Structure 1
Amino acid sequence: MKKLFFSFLLLLYTCISVAQQSAMVQCKVMDMQSSYPVENAVAILQSTNQTAITNSEGILVIEVPTGKQTLIISSNGYVPQTFNLTVIPERNLDLGIVLLELDLTAEQQLNLITLTENDLNESIVTDNTSGLLQASKDALQQAAAYSWSQARYKTRGLDSRYATTMINGVTMNKISDGRPQWNNWSGLNDATRNQEFNLGTTPSDYSFGGLLGTQEINTRASQFRKGTRISFTATNTSYKWRSMATYASGMNKKGFGYVISASHRWAEEANFDGTDYGGNSLFVSMEKKFNDNHSINFTGIYAQSSRGKNSANTQEVTNLMGKKYNSYWGYQNGKKRNSRDIDIAEPVFILSHYYKINPRNTLQSNVAYQFGKIGNSRIDFQNVPNPDPSYYRNLPSYYTSQYENNPALVPNNAYQPGGLGGIYTGNSPENTVFAQQALGSFTANPQINWSNMYLANTRAGTNADNIERGREPSVSRYVLYEDRNDDNTLSINSTLQSQLSPHIVFNGGISFKHLKSHNYKKLLDLLGGSYYNDISPFFSGSQAQSDLNNPNRTVGLNDTYGYNYNLFASQLDAFTQFRFTYRKTDLYLSQSYSRSDYQREGLYRNGIYANSSLGKSNRVSFDNFGFKGGVLYKITGRVLFALNGMYMTKAPALRNTFPNARLNNSIVQGIESENIASIDASYIIRVPKFKVRLSAFYTLINNATETSFFFAEGVYQGENTETNAFIAETVTGINKKLIGTELSTEYNFNTMFKVLFSMAYGQYTYNSNPTVYINNDAFASLQQEVNTPSGITGPTTSFGTSRLKDYKLPGMPQQALSLGFEYRDPKYWWAGINANYLTGSYLDISALLRTDNFLKNPQDVNSFPFPEATQNRTRELLKQEQFDNIFLLNAVGGKSWRVKKKTYLGFFASINNIFNSIYKTGGYEQARNANYRQLNQDVSSGTPSFGPKYFYSYGRTFYLNIYYNF
């Protein structure tokens, strides 16, 4: 009995002891300048990641375990405060009044994320990920977002389709290409400033997430600080001027609040020649809190933009006209007019219900609808010269790269190894004269001649029927049209968060998304003519018809022509996640399932693909799974070790599933989901003056598919035939390997001065020899179509494997360094400077050039290689170009003044690339010379007509933002 009694006392004592292993910490959080309470400030306990938020009076209460603890109190737009606590059981701590200082560097977050040409170009597959990093405070991620993004740096070698971007829990990644369309909320910096970002495969409360991470933008009205903000910006990047105003009402006594924000951006000419810009954005968020358990929020976003593009140029064109040259524009009536505009207007509406079931369970449900348009304009023409002033036939190199390839005239030594397979005639007297004439003509008239196109249209032939009626309308030979995408997307989702126990949190969600995408060619401007013939000038007879059901059709302003089809897609996603939090260890496990269904519906019966263009295609379905998990081991409260791993499959993007969607229902042969495996480890130190993160990662992406479109010459099609045609290239079975390390350090000498150093070292390469398929319209016109058992309609020709293994992934620096210094003065001004060095950026290479087709001689009856081809010369021709190293020096600064108790006036300014370095930011090989002889002759001439095309940086840029908060 005594043993039982003492056992009971021991158990009771243990329970009491356990119950006493914590204490309550409280404080009142206030704005340092205004002395007003800060609502919704967040306190995070570093040892357990436990959080608490302040109420409307700024009061914060959090339960903290005993021992030495680190508590961080932060709020959006303020400098975080760190407290090192020694907590004694049952002895509650009152920190008194905690003053938060306005973070002037937050203006950098709000303003310096700018989109570059590649981000906005629908035909360039590379994009940077700076927009994902706005919510991050890590020194390396800040460098990547604000400094390295100028050089198209991509975090861990990944583009944005490997991250999940959400607004109020609704995924904003496009089904068509998997990427978020940043323009859908551009110009609304104030409205989208409340963000969370989880890097890599770390857990997210809202989604299973992507390989690169999860970004959640919160536009809930109750999360905005009450007040008004007006700002005005001057810059010289993608636009020149911006005005913006935002008002947040705060939540009134009836539980209602709203936020309104609007902006206007414009430039008659931005950084590159002829690139005009116009953008208008409007945001509204309204929230009604019915009681402590139910709240509904409505968010509406409308961001319209129109921007003139700039051209990628060959080295020849750049040498003649400079790095700012843009061939897409010309003068019309004394005003610059760009032929290639991108127009975007896709409003989105989100209705969210927040349900606090009980203190341990919350449920959020959303319904979102997005619609609108993306249009990319260009000039179309029939039976007249190409109006592009930089068209290869208009350049001197067209004449100086000429060869005589007639076998009867070519000596035998030209076919010996190391020969050229022809006689060089580019230096003949005739071609020399022609080259000089082309040089003079191009340099004198380097821009599009709109007047000549109007003149050609008004002098074109007439329509006999209209002549009889006394009218003489002329057929347009040149018109301006746009490739148009009208998307309608419905999204429905719910996410549940449940505190299963003091140490276990469950997150789960399910979502459904449906897309109808109408894709067509729309006539925008007849350029002085009266109508346009809806035929293809490259074909004859019935094959020239865009729609056999409406042959010989003429079209007018705003009519659809050329191609016309719908794409349908449905996605179902579900995920579960368990997070385990203990004193020394945090764990998480997450699982996901998704199903994607795709289908094409042709609205025209195309003349080339008469049997496979009209109507609905076969339906393509992909089932995918994902698993990820990780552990965070707390060596001490300030020293941590993290290990994360992921394996998942990912459906191919809709645009990569149908290789020639504009003209037929073909489906990529044997297309499958991507397989992704990744592991990363981090060693983290977080002490008051010193922060370090050292990470290493290893990622494999297997079985990816990519599509592209271009004009090629010398494409071998078998049976000793070669064709010159516009082709659709599909590359399947692409494997990629991404290995790297990251180092992020931040040292605070005192409250005013700190130094930051970041390093990212990666090796990102192709890890397989994928298969190349070509859908060649010219070849299709020569043979009868066939239907294969898999439902794939021809003709699609396999060119076998492309030797891409160990080539570098293109369009981004693979190594980067940054060293920065910041000074923050107690009188509310700050300044910073950082130096950056980036290297390891490579040209985008052609998969077709690295197939066996490259060496096959179409004139040889046995399809033997070109006799003059040698291994060394082949290696030289196919060597991947590495761009020059980049050095960037940037300076930033700002100041804030308190005008009245809650009124502030301030400015933020930056100068990027102080030394005005203009460097290649990207580029691609032209595959027009698709075989060895043509490419070798072109390069050997010294002035290649079809050399790589390059994009260039802005050069020195500035940014000045003046704001007024009241």
Structure 2
Amino acid sequence: MSIIFKKRLLIALVLPTAGIYYAQSTKDSLEKSKSIDEVMLVGRNLSQTAKERKTPVAVSTIKAAEIQEKLGNREFPEIMKSTPSVYVTKVGGGFGDSRINMRGFDGANIAVIINGQPVNDMQGGTVYWSNWTGLADIASNIQIQRGLGASKFVVPSVGGTINIVTKATDSEQKAMIKAEAGNDNYSRVSAMYSSGLKNKWGTTVLLSRWQGDGYINGTKGEGYSWFFSTGFKPNEKHAFNLIATGAPQVHDTRRSSATGANVATLQQFETYGRRYNPQTGMLNGSSFNLAPNFYHKPIASLNWDWNINDALKLSTVVYGSWGRGGGGTGLNGSIKNANGQTMNFMNYGQGGDGTINWDMIYRYNRGGLVTDYNGNSFQKSTFTAPTGSPADHNGQYVSTLNGTSGIVRKQSINSHDWYGAIADLNYKKNNWTFNGGIDLKTYKGALYDIVTDMLGSDALYIPNTVNAPKGSYVDQTVKPEPLTKLNNAQKVSIYNEGLVKWAGMYGMVEYSSEKLSASVQASVSEQYYKRIDYMLYTPGNQETKWYHKTGYIVKGGANYNIDQHHNVFFNTGVISRQPLFNALFPSNQNIYNDAKNERIFSVELGYGFKSRYVDVNINAYRTQWDDRFISRTFNAGAADVANFSQLKLGNAYFYNALNVGQVHQGVELEAKARPLSNLRLRGMLSLGNWKYKGNANFNIMDVQSNQEVSGATGIINIKDLKVGDAAQTTASIGADYNITKAFSIDANWEYYDKLYAQFNPINFLTEAAREKGIVKLPSYHLFDVGATYKFIIDQKKSLTLRANVYNLFNKYYISELSSNIFAGDKIANGPDAGKTYQEAGRVYQGVADGNTGFLGFGRTWSVAATFRF
């Protein structure tokens, strides 16, 4: 990056959360940029930041200015979607429900690190972005490290690493107030204050609140974000920083996994519009949602940097995370009449809006006579408890739910406590650096179901369980809202805990000169697992023993700077990754499945060109993922018994795919250009080829006995099938143009192609299914624009106005499919039964409209005003 461009960039940008104010002159800019290095950003060795033309990885960096100005009211991962091989969708569209894929790997295979602290869930590996809505306010930069990444920690990412560094304690006194507004009644107010470094102490505090109705019908939400950092620097040898942040929130959802959820088909989107939500409706005059999400996951870390001498440094962090809240499990129970007819409470009738008639359910639960949309009558009969059960509830018999007598809203709680410590010792002598450390953590997660709304019933009767053979009542509800107290909440159907302990150590040797940088690093970890179930087992039999798995990572690479313009790099590595907790206990029982470690091999080559006007990076990669474990639980139907006579009709089993393999390879190009002093261009292109490398074996296990069913084995026919759920071809072109020193405009175009439906490989049990293949979604383009105006009051004070419009041309597009129906498939039911979707004219953008999935958002907008002083 040229000095001239650095000066212009520093003059042009305002970084609100990092506290960098607009500079009036080039000299002031350079002086202030120097002071940034003096901010107490402790734990630098733990931040895992890749260095340009030194660290041999494919990396894209997003600065605070871009996050603050261009993210607006979108989801946090969406700021990363213009980087190579990244695919982001909003999924159902609730606040914070978005997901991200990198090089074709989902979020469970992408390491997310915040200030050196890994935050992927230790049971499922996932990251729920609704827990991190405050990152937009506090992130100082994001590095998207594709592939093996630069992390020294024992975080075996397959697709890549998202490394987020937040602001710490600022060295200067400053403050900020920001107000935002957007489509669908979105609003957000934020305030930040930094005391500056005084008497060796400094503190920074940020608070914000947001609310909105949601672009998707029935997805309103509200939440808060808070951030606190205090630093102490007694001398040049020691620096301490305490950082804590959290984002309590509640939002209604549109999910594909909740019990009782009706996932929208493309046909329904065509009928009811792209904002359609089949999981909402009206209850007693107010909007009511099937599966609201409410959660608070604060994290805190205490960092200590000790410069022992000029060559030796020790960085240490101890951290904790405490998650409390829940998501959408859905409905508990069902409603049937004496004729065995199931109530149709979905308003699909003439002139209906396709939503849930919650009032009908409520009237039924209160004992009223109701007639559903199919014309069937339903009325709850007087409840008679089984002999010997606790029927006398609060001194009276009550009309409760039992079997098919009614429905309540049930939700799943995930509460966890997570503690960890990392110590990193760094020794540098001449051109050599020796680095090593330990990584320790312990995790305890509790999963249980609660009732959040009785929907008119007096209580929920739970039939006999192993710990309550006479049955029990649930008459308490928990309100889904931020900071909900869950202590002593009554459990409904599941209650178990997962315990994970982790001990790892790592080491790295690095050589670095002006021309050559090379490193080799290795890490090993031991992971321990235990499961406790309080619902399915009697006391004394509730805990499993501790099981353990060993994993390791070996990787290395080199970067060679040919001259001041050209450089080349390569990296390679192998990972033996321990299975996730859910793979070791796949049946939600205390039954251990001795799954093998997954094996990952990756190799990558890259080239970079850097000049005064143009920066170009191009790289090619190949990642092979073997011994992937996939499981699917099912109740044996007639077709299953016909295929495997050993199965018993109606019994519970699960398919185990034992050795699924995938190959992800591709080419990535990223470029930036500065043809004029006031014009900056950027672009990227990624061409991927992600597929299953061969067929896999499967067996069938009996859920109750955890024994393999003899002879129930076979082949999963997935060879050469494309990996679904993420676009394999992506492209982007963007421009930032400064019309004046105060006024700038920007635009960004994105293109997505070779996007296939998501699918479970276990469904492909025949060669005919494999030959049929996977549904390919239509390609699509998106176009975003924005404008910024900055009023400079003085050296300390400024007012910045920002406006964004996303999907400017209101493009209709399918962002993901959760089914795999072809236009040539025959329709099973309804007036078009026997015809193919193509023959019946039932296609949506060329895709059979019987498929379930989600459409992307239409045109949205946001505006913001930021005052710094």
Deviations 1:761-808 (A, max 9, x none): 0011112323445567xxx6xxxx54xxxxx45779955321112111
- Distance in 2 separating the partners of 1:333 and 1:148: 29
SS in 2 for 1:561: coil
Aligned residues of 1:112 and 1:146 also touching (Cα < 8 A): no
1:329 aligns to 2:258 (yes or no): no
Partner of 1:752: 678
Using the TM superposition, give the Cα deviation of residue 491 of structure 1 relative to its aligned residue in structure 2, in angstroms: 0.9
In 1, distance between residues paired with 2:62 and 2:663?
39
1:885 to 763, 779, 789: 779
1:367 — aligned with what?
Answer: 318
Task: Describe the superposition over 1:509-562 as per-residue Cα deviations: whole angstroms up to 9, x where unpaired.
Answer: 211111111111112222222211214xxxxxxxxx443544422222141021
Who is 2:260 aligned against? none
Letter in structure 2 aligned against 1:849:
N
Aligned to 2:189: 243
Structure 1 residue 940: deviation in Å? 4.1
Structure 2 residue aligned with 1:732: 658
Aligned to 1:475: 400
Post-superposition offset of 1:749? 1.1
| Correspondence for 1:114 | 75
Q: Report the residue type matching 1:641 in the other structure.
A: V
* Distance (Å, rounded) in 1 between the aligned partners of 2:418 and 2:749: 43
- Counterparts in 2 of 1:676 and 1:703: CA distance versus 1, 3 Å: same
Partner of 2:140: 193
CA shift in 2, pair 1:498/1:236, >3 Å: farther
**Within 5 Å, which residues of 2 pair with 1:12-411?**
33-34=23-24, 105=66, 107-108=68-69, 111=72, 114-115=75-76, 130=78, 133=80, 140-141=83-84, 154-204=101-151, 210-219=157-166, 221-223=168-170, 226-236=173-183, 240-252=186-198, 254-267=199-212, 269-311=213-255, 312-385=263-336
CA deviation vs aligned residue, 1:84-136 (integer Å, no higher than 9, x gap): xxxxxxxxxxxxxxxxxxx9645346647615xxxxxxxxxxxxx656x59xx
1:491 aligns with 2:436: no
Q: Distance in 2 between matches of 1:149 and 1:462?
A: 38
Is it true that 1:446 corresponds to 2:365 in the alignment? no
Task: Give the C-alpha shift of residue 305 in structure 1.
Answer: 1.5
Computing the radius of gyration from Cα coordinates, the structure with the larger value is 1
The residue correspondences of 1:546-565 to structure 2 (distance < 5 A) are: 546-557=465-476, 558-565=489-496
SS in 2 for 1:560: coil
Alpha-carbon distance in structure 2 between the residues aligned to 1:932 and 1:392: 26
1:336-735 map, 5 Å:
336-385=287-336, 441=349, 443-444=351-352, 446-459=354-367, 460=380, 461-462=382-383, 471-476=396-401, 477-499=406-428, 501-535=429-463, 545-557=464-476, 558-605=489-536, 614-661=541-588, 664-668=589-593, 670-708=594-632, 713-717=637-641, 718-719=644-645, 723=649, 730-735=656-661
Q: 3-state SS of the aligned residue for 2:363?
A: helix
Q: Distance in 1 between matches of 2:84 and 2:175?
A: 30
Point out the more displaced range, 806-815 or 148-157: 148-157
- Aligned AA for 1:352? N
Q: Which amino acid aligns with 2:784?
A: N
Q: Tell me how far 1:313 sits from its aligned partner.
A: 1.6
Residue 350 and residue 699 in structure 1: after superposition, are their counterparts in 2 closer, same or farther (change >3 A)? same
Q: Does 1:823 align with 2:717?
A: no
* 2:170/2:204 contact within 8 Å kept: no
Q: How does 1:917-956 map to 2 (within 5 A)?
A: 917-925=811-819, 940=834, 942=836, 947-956=850-859
In the alignment, the residues of structure 2 paired with residue 825 and residue 142 of structure 1 have an alpha-carbon distance, to the nearest angstrom, of: 32
Helix, strand or coil at the partner of 1:176: coil
One-letter amino acid of the counterpart of residue 665, structure 1: N
The equivalent residue for 2:258 is: none
CA distance in 2, matches of 1:835, 1:585: 37
Native 8 Å contact 1:591 1:625 kept in 2: yes
TM-score of the two chains, using structure 2 as the length reference: 0.80
Q: Deviations over 1:48-79 (max 9, x none)?
A: xxxx975589xxxxxxxxxxx999xxxxxx99
3-state SS, counterpart of residue 616 of structure 1: coil
Please state whether the residue corresponding to 1:358 is helix, strand or coil: coil
2:780 corresponds to 1:904: no
Change beyond 3 A, Cα 1:445–1:555? same
Maintained 8 Å contact 2:436/2:508:
yes
Deviation at 1:849, TM superposition (A): 2.9
* Code of the aligned partner of 1:569: V
Q: Which moved more, 1:685-694 or 1:361-370?
A: 361-370
Q: Deviations over 1:571-625 (max 9, x none)?
A: 112211122112322111111111111121111236xxx99x9522343321111
Q: Does residue 800 of structure 1 match 2:724?
A: no
User: Which deviates the most, 909-918 or 734-743?
Assistant: 909-918
Tell me the CA shift for residue 901 of structure 1: 2.6
The Cα RMSD (Å) is: 4.1
Paired amino acid for 1:475: T
Paired AA for residue 684 in structure 1: G
The aligned residue for residue 847 of structure 1 is 761
Q: Offset of 1:356 from its aligned partner?
A: 1.4
Distance 1:105 1:925 in 2: 36
Seen in structure 2, the aligned counterparts of structure 1 residues 770 and 553 have a Cα distance that, compared at 3 Å, is farther
In structure 2, distance between residues paired with 1:511 and 1:469:
53
Superposition TM-score, scaled by structure 1 size: 0.72
Q: Measured at CA, do residues 394 and 744 of structure 1 come closer, stay the same or move farther in structure 2, by a change above 3 Å?
A: same
Residues in 1 aligned to 2:585 and 2:315: alpha-carbon distance in whole angstroms:
36
The Cα shift of 1:952 comes to 1.2
- How far the C-alpha of 1:505 sits from its partner, in A, is 1.6
Query: Are 2:624 and 2:662, in contact at CA under 8 Å, matched by a contact in 1?
Result: yes
Distance 1:467 1:354, change over 3 A: closer
User: Which moves more between the two structures, 595-604 or 106-115?
Assistant: 106-115
Q: Secondary structure at the match of 1:655?
A: helix
- Residues 731/466 of structure 1: CA separation in 2 closer, same or farther (3 Å cut): closer
Say if 2:99 and 2:107, in contact at 8 Å, map to a contact too: no
> Which AA in structure 1 matches 2:763?
L
Q: Indicate the SS of the match to 2:725.
A: coil
Change beyond 3 A, Cα 1:548–1:941: farther
Deviations 1:343-389 (A, max 9, x none): 11122221222211112222121221212224123443435149xxx
Amino acid at match of 1:263: S
CA distance in structure 1 between the aligned counterparts of 2:701 and 2:777, rounded to whole angstroms: 32
Amino acid at match of 2:819: E
User: Secondary structure, in 3 states, of the residue corresponding to 1:948?
Assistant: coil
Q: Would the alpha carbon gap of residues 56 and 646 (structure 1) be closer, same or farther in structure 2, given more than 3 Å must change? A: closer
**Does the CA contact (< 8 Å) of 2:424 and 2:436 recur in 1?**
yes
Cα distance in 1 for partners of 2:393, 2:74 equals: 60
How many Å apart are 1:886 and its aligned residue? 0.6
Closer, same or farther: CA 171–470 of 1 in aligned 2, 3 Å: closer
Distance in 1 between residues matched to 2:307 and 2:809, nearest whole Å? 55
Query: Do the aligned partners of residues 796 and 764 (structure 1) sit closer, same or farther apart at CA in structure 2, a change above 3 Å counting?
Result: farther
Identity %: 19
CA distance in 1, matches of 2:325, 2:521: 36
Change (3 A) 1:53 1:251: closer
- Contact 2:39/2:171 (8 A) holds in 1: no
CA distance in 2, matches of 1:146, 1:446: 24
What amino acid does structure 1 have at the position aligned with 2:519?
Y
Letter in 2 for 1:262: L
Provide closer, same or farther for how the CA distance between residues 807 and 145 of structure 1 changes in structure 2, counting only shifts above 3 A.
Answer: closer
Pairwise CA distance, 1:881: 0.5
**Structure 2, unaligned stretches of length 5 or more?**
1-6, 12-20, 41-51, 55-60, 256-262, 368-379, 477-488, 843-847
The aligned counterpart of 1:961 is 864
Q: Deviations over 1:173-218 (max 9, x none)?
A: 2211223343333224232224555443353466776344444444
